[in-house]
Amino acid sequence: MDTDGIVIRIKTPVGDMDSPVDYPFLLNFNDLLVAIREVMPEATVTAFEYEDEVGDRITVRSDEELKAMLSYYCNTMTEQRINGLLPDPLQIFPRAGKTPGIRNIHGLKVNTRPSPANDCAQTVPNAAANNSLKKSSAELKRILSNGQINGQDIEYQEQLGHGNGGTVYKANHLSYKRVLAVKVIPLDITVELQKQIMSELEILYKCDSPYIITFFGAFFVENRISICTEFMDGGSLDVYKRIPEYVLGRIAVALALGMFPYPQIQKNQGSLMPLQLLQCIVDEDPPVLPVGQFSETFVHFVTQCMKRQPKERPAPNNLMEHPFIAQHNDGSAEVVSQWVSHSLEERRRLQV
Q: Where is the binding site for ATP, in residues?
A: 183
| Binding region | 183
State the DSSP string of 97-129.
EE-GGG--TT-PPP--SPPPTT-HHHHHHHHHH
Buried/exposed 184-197: b ≥16 CB within 10 Å, e otherwise: bbebeeebeebeeb
Calculate the CA dihedral of residues 338, 344, 347, 349 and round it to 10 degrees. -90
- The DSSP code for 307 is -
Helix (H) or strand (E) holding 51: strand 43-51
Label the pairing between strands 15-21 and 154-163.
unpaired
Q: How far apart are CA 191 and CA 167, in angstroms?
A: 18
Contact, 179 vs 172, CB < 8 A? yes
What are the residue ranges of helices labelled H in the chain?
Answer: 29-39, 63-82, 120-145, 191-206, 245-257, 263-267, 296-305, 316-319, 323-328, 334-351
